[in-house]
């Protein structure tokens, strides 16, 4: 059932507005004189206050009213934006959320935060003096053409303007009204001139039109100046008005603004489940049609297949969310960590438009918090150490996201001290994770930091050092069928790369056969398919190399990996797949077809199977395991490294090219 609880709807919208306010404050810290940002923050505060009062959240409305009043001093130019103002404003944002979740407990802190906010804004120093009260103003305005359709009421605006002065006079401007046969009653074509007599604050007049942007024509001039140059036509709009609060702008094109509506996540999940069942049913229908060879049935099956594919793509697109939707919290986190650790930190992002399944985004937030926190606490040095090393005093943490075939790569990179392989090795030996005489590659040493309880921190702090962060990250990423890669250079920083699937629901797959059993390879990871050369057909080893157009590509015999006892077919095929910049060939008996693959999670009994990321149900009702391409590519690289260590010149050449 759809959730129509007004209080729940308000809490959701208020939470989104607070996130927008927080993002605006963080941007404002870098662009302190950006008037558009100041107005945007003020508008969001005004909306939260009004909605809170409307839905009975008196504590929220009262708190935000005082917050808005303090911030209005900045909007009117009576105070400057300084770091202390941003800090206490962010604290006030947290208090709004606390009032939404537990008003009885949180209300006790409101007075202290508001007092600090008022004092900080008051101490912010006078900025550019704002226009104070003047003896009368003439306000001339034309609302956007679509103002009525968007729910605005010009009469209410006129009442609000008239209330600003002891007396006022309103005159309509009718020259923009078309003939009756061309008139659209939903268009706002009438303008107004409002003369305000007495002491009037210009900022208060501008505030009446706070929620109008494009399409608003507004001119404000002192009434004395207006009277000095009367118009010869009493019904005409005043000529070129003096300073305008908003420059006249062309009315926005009608019909270009997309309509949106809120849909509960549970409904999207249910829709995706139904589409998954439809895809399975469509596969069964297609299999039956090809079996019977009845032309009319095959035609219907093709239509159903096309419609199911379109519905699948549309449903998946509705679930896709840009990663930028969660990067705001990391900007705030980096700022708070900078204050707590006494380290100047610059947080940067790239690729915020990269989209992932909503479920993946929600689960991904906490692991990224751990990674950013570790980068700030363990990775970045203090300002004195950085200066001594010839680095910029402020450390940089950079979060990037990009597509890579069927995966999304999310990287968190810092320019700090980097990982120390010797310290990691010593701590691993001390913990009994490796033998003292073991020889591990640097990449394998770095992976040890993902072990439960592993930490090289000298001191335990309230942020990190207990070794309970990265192992949680690894478990979470494993649960998403993803992988973690670590790269580091001592003195130059560390990069943590998360490889994640685009979606957890439905993918295009390449159905292959090995020893009479069917398996699915994600189609987005497939680069090409070639026939296995005769000289390799009778081989029994698990891996070797192919020369594909001058490039050496290692290949894995899946028959050997999957312990298939039946003899191989006469003409085996090699499916070349790619992951993380490396290519590996997978030798299969037969390539069956492309199909839409509904991903089903493996049971707990089978969850530990290496080389598989899930399973799917085929059209004939049988189950096909889904091959874990990144894991097999890593296995192919490892096999190549072993052969290179044994002295294979070709393998060494391939490894050099792959690096």
What percent of the chain is predicted at pLDDT more than 90? 3
* Shared-domain flag, residues 591 and 577: yes
Residue 336 backbone dihedrals phi, psi, to 5 degrees: -65, -40
pLDDT at 239 over 50: no
Residue in 300, 295, 131, 125 with CA at minimum distance from that of residue 202: 131
* pLDDT at residue 398 in the model: 92
Quick one: average pLDDT of 178-198? 87
3-state secondary structure 422-440: HHHHHHHHHHCCCCCCCCC
Alpha carbon distance 494, 474 (integer Å) = 17
Quick one: average pLDDT of 341-367? 86
Could you tell me the CATH number of the domain that includes residue 382?
A: 3.30.565.10
Q: Is residue 637 part of a domain?
A: yes
* Shared-domain flag, residues 522 and 458: no
Residue in 94, 38, 98 with CA at minimum distance from that of residue 68: 38
State the pLDDT confidence band at 463, using cuts at 50, 70 and 90: low
* pLDDT at residue 607 in the model: 62
Residue in 27, 37, 40, 13 with CA at minimum distance from that of residue 97: 13
- Structural domains of the chain, count: 5
* Shared-domain flag, residues 21 and 85: yes
- Span 93-130, pLDDT tens digits: 888 888 888 777 777 788 888 888 888 887 544 444 44
Alpha carbon distance 440, 431 (integer Å) = 16
What are the angstrom distances between the C-alpha of 261 and each of 14, 43, 318?
16, 21, 12
DSSP 309-377: HHHHHHHHHHHEEETHHHHHHHHHHHHHHHHHHT--EEEEEE-TT-EEEHHHHHHHHHHHHHHHHHIII
Residue 174 DSSP label:
-
Quick one: average pLDDT of 414-421? 86
Q: Is residue 71 part of a domain?
A: yes
Q: Is residue 252 part of a domain?
A: no
* Shared-domain flag, residues 85 and 179: no
Domain finish residue from 198, 228, 258: 228
- Which one is predicted more confidently, 657 or 477? 477
Strand order in the sheet with 543-548: 526-531, 573-579, 582-588, 551-557, 543-548
State the pLDDT confidence band at 232, using cuts at 50, 70 and 90: very low
Q: Is residue 257 part of a domain?
A: no
* Shared-domain flag, residues 365 and 418: yes
Could you tell me the CATH number of the domain that includes residue 93?
A: 1.20.120.160
Could you tell me the CATH number of the domain that includes residue 174?
A: 3.30.70.1150
Domain finish residue from 203, 228, 253: 228
Among all chains, which residue has been given the structure tokens 């002491």? 199
* Shared-domain flag, residues 68 and 17: yes
- Span 280-331, pLDDT tens digits: 888 888 888 888 888 889 899 889 988 888 888 888 788 788 888 888 888 8
Residue 69 host element (H or E) = helix 58-75
* Shared-domain flag, residues 483 and 598: no
* Shared-domain flag, residues 333 and 424: yes
Mean pLDDT of the chain: 78
pLDDT at 416 over 60: yes
* Shared-domain flag, residues 531 and 652: yes
**Number of Cβ within a 10 Å radius of residue 608:** 8
Q: Is residue 237 part of a domain?
A: no
* Shared-domain flag, residues 215 and 106: no
Residue in 28, 211, 35, 246 with CA at minimum distance from that of residue 128: 35
Could you tell me the CATH number of the domain that includes residue 544?
A: 2.30.30.40
Q: Which two tokens stand for residue 100?
A: 């939404």
- Span 53-63, pLDDT tens digits: 777 777 888 88
Q: Is residue 28 part of a domain?
A: yes
Q: Is residue 313 part of a domain?
A: yes
* Shared-domain flag, residues 300 and 344: no
What is residue 583's three-state secondary structure? strand
**What range does the domain containing 515 cover?**
506-658
Q: Is residue 238 part of a domain?
A: no
* Shared-domain flag, residues 329 and 314: no
- Span 589-634, pLDDT tens digits: 889 888 777 777 776 777 667 778 778 888 777 888 888 887 777 7
Residue in 591, 645, 586 with CA at minimum distance from that of residue 611: 586
Domain finish residue from 62, 94, 122: 122
Dihedral over Cα of 354, 357, 360, 366: its sign? positive
pLDDT at 353 over 70: yes
State the pLDDT confidence band at 251, using cuts at 50, 70 and 90: very low
pLDDT at 654 over 80: no
- Span 502-551, pLDDT tens digits: 766 677 788 899 888 889 888 878 888 998 887 777 665 555 788 888 88
């Amino acid at each position: 059932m759809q959730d129509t609880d007004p209080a729940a709807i308000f809490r959701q919208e208020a939470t989104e507005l607070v996130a927008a306010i927080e993002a605006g404050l963080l941007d404002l810290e870098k662009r302190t004189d950006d008037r558009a940002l100041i107005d945007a923050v003020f508008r969001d505060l005004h909306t939260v206050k009004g909605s809170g009062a409307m839905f009975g959240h008196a504590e929220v409305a009262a708190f935000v009213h005082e917050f808005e009043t303090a911030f209005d001093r900045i909007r009117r130019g009576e105070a400057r934006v300084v770091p202390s103002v941003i800090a206490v404003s962010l604290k006030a944002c947290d208090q709004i959320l606390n009032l939404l979740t537990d008003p009885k407990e949180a209300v006790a802190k409101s007075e202290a935060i508001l007092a600090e906010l008022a004092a900080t804004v008051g101490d912010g120093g006078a900025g550019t003096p704002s226009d104070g009260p003047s003896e009368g103003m003439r306000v001339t305005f034309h609302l956007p053409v679509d103002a009525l359709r968007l729910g605005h009421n010009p009469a209410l605006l006129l009442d609000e303007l008239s209330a600003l002065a002891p007396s006022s006079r309103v005159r309509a401007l009718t020259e923009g009204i078309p003939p009756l046969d061309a008139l659209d009653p939903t268009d706002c074509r009438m303008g107004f001139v409002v003369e305000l007599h007495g002491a009037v604050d210009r900022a208060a007049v501008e505030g009446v039109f706070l929620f109008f942007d494009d399409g608003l024509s507004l001119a404000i001039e002192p009434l004395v100046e207006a009277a000095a140059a009367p118009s010869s036509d009493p019904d005409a709009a005043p000529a070129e008005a003096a300073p305008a609060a908003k420059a006249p702008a062309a009315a926005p094109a009608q019909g270009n603004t997309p309509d949106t509506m809120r849909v509960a996540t549970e409904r999207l999940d249910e829709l995706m489940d139904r589409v998954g069942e439809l895809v399975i049913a469509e596969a069964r229908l297609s299999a039956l049609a090809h079996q019977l060879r009845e032309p009319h049935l095959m035609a219907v099956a093709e239509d159903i297949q096309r419609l199911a594919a379109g519905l699948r793509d549309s449903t998946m697109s509705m679930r896709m969310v840009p990663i930028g939707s969660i990067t705001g919290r990391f900007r705030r986190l980096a700022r708070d960590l900078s204050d707590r650790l006494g380290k100047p930190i610059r947080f940067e992002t790239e690729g915020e438009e990269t989209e992932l399944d909503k479920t993946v985004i929600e689960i991904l937030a906490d692991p990224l918090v751990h990674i950013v926190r570790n980068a700030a606490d363990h990775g970045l040095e203090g300002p004195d150490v950085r200066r001594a090393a010839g680095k910029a005093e402020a450390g940089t943490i950079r979060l990037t996201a990009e597509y890579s075939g069927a995966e999304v790569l999310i990287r968190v990179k810092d320019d700090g001290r980097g990982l120390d392989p010797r310290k990691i090795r010593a701590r691993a030996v001390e913990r009994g994770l490796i033998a003292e005489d073991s020889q591990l590659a640097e990449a394998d040493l770095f992976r040890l930091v993902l072990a439960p309880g592993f930490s090289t921190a000298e001191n335990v702090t309230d942020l990190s050092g207990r070794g309970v962060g990265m192992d949680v990250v690894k478990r979470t990423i494993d649960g998403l069928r993803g992988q973690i890669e670590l790269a580091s250079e001592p003195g130059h920083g560390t990069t943590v790369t998360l490889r994640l699937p685009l979606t957890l629901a439905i993918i295009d797959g390449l159905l292959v056969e090995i020893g009479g059993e069917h398996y699915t390879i994600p189609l987005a990871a497939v680069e090409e398919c070639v026939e296995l050369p005769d000289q390799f057909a009778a081989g029994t080893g698990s891996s070797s190399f192919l020369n594909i157009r001058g490039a050496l590509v290692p290949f894995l015999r899946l028959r050997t990996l999957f312990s298939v006892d039946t003899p191989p077919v006469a003409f085996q095929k090699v499916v070349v797949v790619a992951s993380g910049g490396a290519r590996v060939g997978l030798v299969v008996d037969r390539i069956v077809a492309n199909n839409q693959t509904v991903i089903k999670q493996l049971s707990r009994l089978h969850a530990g199977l290496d080389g598989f990321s899930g399973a799917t149900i085929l059209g004939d009702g049988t189950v096909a395991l889904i091959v874990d391409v990144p894991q097999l590519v890593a296995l192919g690289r490892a096999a190549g490294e072993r052969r290179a260590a044994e002295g294979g010149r070709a393998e060494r050449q391939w490894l050099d090219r792959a690096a």
